[in-house]
A and B are shown apart, each in its own frame.
Chain A
Amino acid sequence: MKEVVIDSLGEACPIPLVKAQNAMKEMEIGDVLIVQIDHSCAMKNLPEWARKEGHNVEIEEVDDAEWEVIIEKAK
Chain B
Amino acid sequence: MTREKKVENYDVVVIGGGPAGLTAAIYAGRARLSTLLIEKALIGGLATYTNTIENYSGFPNGPKGEYITNEMKKQAEEMGVKFKLTAVKSVDFEGTNKVVETFRNKYIAKTVIIATGGRPRTTGAQNEDKFLFDKGISFCATCDAAANTGKHVLVIGSGDAAIEEGMFLTKFADKVSVSVIHDEGKMDCNEIAKEAALANPKMDFYWNTVVDNFEGEDMLERVNLKNLKTKEIIPVVTDSCFEFIGYLPNTEIFEGLLKMSGNKYVITNERMETNYPGVFACGDVRDKWLKQVSTAVGDGAIAGFAAEKYIAETEQFEEVLMQTKKPGLIFVYNAIDPDSRKFLSTIDAYEKSKAGTIAVNRVDVYKSTGLADRLGVTNYPAVVITNEGQVSSIVYEGICEEGFCIETFDELFKTSCKVCK
Contact = CB atoms under 8 A, between A and B. Distances in A.
Interface of A: 12-14, 17-18, 30, 40-41, 43-45, 47-49, 51-52, 56-61, 67, 72
Size bin of chain B's contact surface: 20 to 34
Nearest to B41: A47
Contacts of A45: 133-134, 143
Given A58-B85, A61-B83, A40 B48 contact: yes
Pairs of residues from A and B, 10 with the lowest C-beta to C-beta distance, nearest first: A14-B134, A59-B85, A43-B42, A41-B143, A58-B86, A47-B41, A56-B103, A49-B133, A17-B134, A43-B41
Contacts of A40: 42, 48, 66, 143
Contacts of A59: 41, 85-86
A60 B143 contact: no
A13 B104 contact: no
A9 to B, nearest CB: 16
Interface string B123-161: 000000000011000001011101100000000000000
B257 interface: no
A21 to B, nearest CB: 8
Nearest to A45: B133
A41 to B, nearest CB: 4
A47 B87 CA distance: 9
A30 B146 CA distance: 36
Contacts of A49: 133
Given A45-B134, A57-B103, 7 more contacts: A12-B146, A13-B147, A17-B134, A18-B134, A45-B133, A61-B83, A67-B85
B355 interface: no
Specify which of A18, A41, A60 lies most central, judged by the most chain B CB atoms within 10 Å of its CB. Answer: A41
A61 B86 CA distance: 11
A44 B104 contact: no
B103 A44 contact: no
B103 A13 contact: no
Contact of A13 (B41, B86, B144): B144
26 contacts: A12-B146, A12-B147, A13-B143, A13-B144, A14-B147, A17-B133, A40-B42, A40-B66, A40-B143, A41-B140, A41-B142, A43-B42, A44-B48, A44-B49, A47-B41, A47-B87, A49-B133, A51-B40, A51-B87, A56-B103, A57-B86, A57-B87, A57-B103, A58-B102, A59-B41, A59-B86
B85 A60 contact: yes
A18 B42 CA distance: 19
Interface string B11-49: 000000000000000000000000000001110000011
A48 B49 CA distance: 15
A40 B44 CA distance: 10
A68 to B, nearest CB: 10
B143 A58 contact: no
A39 B320 CA distance: 52
A49 B129 CA distance: 12
B96 to A, nearest CB: 28
Contacts of B87: 47, 51, 57
Contacts of A60: 85
Nearest to A17: B134
A61 B85 contact: yes
A52 B133 CA distance: 10
B1 interface: yes
B41 A44 contact: yes
B24 to A, nearest CB: 20
